[in-house]
Structure formats: C-alpha cells, structure tokens
Amino acid sequence: MTVPPVPLPARTTVGVVGAGPAGLLLARLLHRAGIDCVVLESRTRDYVEQRQRAGILEQATVDALRSSGAAERLDREGLAHDGVELRWGRRRHRVDFPSLTGGRRVWVYAQTEVVKDLIGLQLGDGAPLLFDAPVSAVVGADTARPLVRYTHGGAEHTLACDYVVGCDGFHGVTRNAAPEGALTTFERAYPYSWLGVLADVAPSNDELVYAHSPRGFALLSMRSPTVSRLYLQVPNGTDPGAWTDERIWDELDARFAVDGDWSLARGPITQKSVLPMRSVVTEPMRWGRVLLAGDAAHIVPPTGAKGLNLAAADVIVLARAFEQWARTGSTAGLDAYSDTCLRRVWRAEHFSWFMTTTLHTAPGQSDFDTRLQLSQLDRVAASAHAAAELAENYVGGPVG
Ligand code: APR
Ligand code: PHB
C-alpha cells in the first residue's frame, strides 16, 4: 500500500532553513515552546547525520539540550572533561577548568550524535522536518510575510512565514534575502588547513591535547573510549588521499612528542578529510523578518571548539526572543538579537584566532614569531591569570 505523501505546509510561524545543529536545536526549542515551525533541509537525513564535525559542548549547550529533552543519550554517553593539555617544546601543561573558572567544565559528545538525537526527537514528535528540500530563495524579508521557495518531491513549493531563520551554514542562501550592501562581512583566511581523521583506537590521553610543534599543529580528541579523533595542520589544498595511515601516524608522533613516558597508540583510520581554516562574521544577523544563526552568520577556525556552541548560543537567544514575541507581542528580544549574539560571536572569534595563531606554525613563519608563540605558551603555564583567561574562553559562559 503506498503511503499518502505528507501534506506540505504552506504556512508557518517560523520557517527554518537548514537542519544542522542550529536549525535542529532552534526547531526543538520552538516546538517545546508551542511555536510552530517548519525545517527545510537540502540534504538527505543520512548525509546530515554522518557529516563529521566537532565534538566539544559547552555547559550552556548541554543545558539547552537537556531543557529541550534532547540529552538522554548525551547524559549516558557524553564524557565530562575538566581540562585540556597543551604541548610545546616537548613539554606538557594541563589547563584545569574547574579551579580556574569556578567549577565549569566541557562535554565531549560528537556533533553527529547531537544531530541524530535532535532529528529523532523532532520526527518522533511529528514536527515538520523535510529532508531533500533545498531552498532556492527567501524573499520578502522587509514584509510581514516573508516567503521561502523550495523544491521537494520534484515540485516547487512556497512556505509563507511570519519569520524566517537562516540556519543554512556558510554556503546557504538565506543571507541573499537582504538587499545588496545591507550586510557587512568581516573575514580572515588562514594559510593552512586541518587534516582530520577518525581512528578505531582508544584515545592515548584522557583529555584533549593541543600541540604546537615546528612541524605544525596537532590535536588529539576523541569520540568514545574506543574511537580517537585527531587533526594535524596541513597546507591549504592538501589532498587527504595523499596521506597514508602510516604517514599520518608518523607525523602525529613527531608533533605530540614529549619528554617522559607517553606514546600515541595507533589503529585503523576509518575517515580522512581536510577542512580549511577561516574566520567570518556577517553583520547584522538580521534583516527585517529574516534572521541568521550559526554558520550562516559566522565561521570560526575549529581550534577553539566554538562553532557548534556559537550556533547553539544564537538559537537559545532566538528561541527566548520568539517566546517573548508569541507571549506578549513584544519584538524587543528579536530587535536585540543581533547585538546580543554578536558580543559572544566576536569574543569567540578572538579566542579562536588566539588559539589558532598561537598553536599553528604558518608557512615561512619567522623565528621571531615562533618565539612569541612559545612565550605565550610559557605564560599560560606560569600564570594562573593567563591560564584562567584561556580556560574561561574555552568553557564559555551563560548565554545572553
Ligand atoms: N536549503 C536547505 N538547506 C540548506 C541549504 C539550502 N539552500 N543550504 C545549506 N543547507 C543546509 C546544509 O545541508 C546543512 O545541513 O543547512 C545546514 C547547515 O548546517 P551547518 O553547516 O552544520 O551549520 P550550523 O547548523 O550553523 O552548525 C554549525 O556545524 O559546520 C559545523 O563547524 C560548524 O560546528 C559548527 C556547526
Ligand atoms: C573534535 O573533537 O572534533 C574537536 C575538539 C576540539 C577542537 C576541535 C575539534 O578544538
């Protein structure tokens, strides 16, 4: 028996473009607040759920997932982390979060798992979440009824909204809803990328390891007690296929090398990908009745583990603003949204730039610049104030 197609909504309160962490968490928060929304995602569910991304959640992100009923598996499988390790000049230095930040910590739980959990809940609740539904345009941002034009099932459709939120990432279309010149983009590109790998081997450190070395940056992270996530700095344009497993492990060994008893366990590499490093901010994050959240509004280099958490912070603020509007008719929260979020965005941009430029060895970097980096790392090891500045930024703070 053929299942009758689900009737596509022609109208909703909040149209959400994109089902990454930003779009999915916003939809979950709105659904829990009784505000109807429709999520339109261009890719398939499988593609969205398998896309390898970050793995660090700030407490505010965890709290939002918990309050929206989306943290049952996170609470069971997530790993609470109380610090990270920095390495330079064959030295190791641990930055302890709780003692430096008044008790705060972070959680290790892959973005892929956050996305799976949110999709499962939304679909389980029958919330309108359409995959294979690419949005071609958002129009009418300066009207009371912005429209989202999309295709699904081989046909063109239009969704009439009270508001549209672009959660469609760096390559999305929602930014185009603003007139030419209305938005300003601030950008910085970095002269290196990351080669990221997943490996079926237990992580060789209990906490994350960020390593500065003359050969380039390396990061040891994890996905579970049996799966390691590792990254190494490579030139822009690197082909992941040019790196054999052995070459990857040999290079990671060289970059993590320290005096004393530590070794990097090896195992089969199951996934390789290269990601560029860039900082981008679009201001303002709103034009009329169209708002931007997450990577659609800002990009950070992953060194500070801020991308997912900034996306979550945006939609936490936005969901509160929509709830205020739905309850009282006041648009005060919506009107303040961009300025509220940009304060946190620029703090995260600076921290991500600081971590990236302190830990990476740029092509042709002068010895003077290397000495500055090593002096900064020595400072973190020697001064509780310097260590606290790094820890405070890494764990993040309350949203809004
Ligand atoms: N129509 C519908 N969906 C679209 C369109 C479009 N025209 N363009 C992009 N999308 C979808 C993408 O397929 C993707 O699933 O929007 C989603 C955007 O998700 P993300 O790029 O993950 O962005 P965001 O939700 O803001 O999450 C930010 O994800 O990319 C990482 O490092 C980033 O951790 C950060 C987090
Ligand atoms: C990850 O686990 O993928 C990860 C962790 C910390 C970072 C970046 C990525 O800074």
Q: What is the pLDDT of residue 6?
A: 61
Domain match, 194 and 317 both: no
Mean pLDDT of 355-363: 98
Contacts of 39 (CB under 8 A, 6+ apart): 16, 18, 19, 23, 24, 27, 122, 127, 128, 129, 130
Has 350 been annotated as catalytic? no
Helix (H, G, I), strand (E, B) or coil at 85: strand
Domain match, 164 and 194 both: no
Gap from CA of 221 to ligand 2 centroid (Å)? 6
Q: Are 25 and 173 in contact (CB under 8 A)?
A: no
Given CA atoms 10, 13, 16, 17 in this order, what sign does their dihedral have?
Answer: positive
Mean pLDDT value across the chain: 96
Residue 219 structural domain: 190-276+371-395
pTM reported for the whole predicted model: 0.97
Has 302 been annotated as catalytic? yes
Is 218 part of any domain?
A: yes
Domain match, 118 and 147 both: yes
Q: Of all protein residues, whose CA lies closest to atom 7 belonging to ligand 2?
A: 305
* Cα gap 391→370, rounded to integer Å: 23
Mean pLDDT of 48-68: 95
Is 365 part of any domain?
A: no
Query: Which residue out of 217, 221, 230, 360 has the highest number of ligand 2 atoms within 8 Å of its CB and is therefore the one to mutate?
Result: 221
Query: Which residue out of 219, 223, 230, 272 has the highest number of ligand 2 atoms within 8 Å of its CB and is therefore the one to mutate?
Result: 219
What is the percent of the chain with per-residue pLDDT over 90, rounded to a whole number?
Answer: 96
- The ligand 2 atom at the shortest distance from the C-alpha of residue 54 is 3
Domain match, 68 and 197 both: no
Domain match, 53 and 108 both: yes
Q: How many domains is the chain built from?
A: 2
Mean pLDDT of 126-141: 97
Domain match, 33 and 119 both: yes
Domain match, 16 and 145 both: yes
Q: What is the pLDDT of residue 52?
A: 85
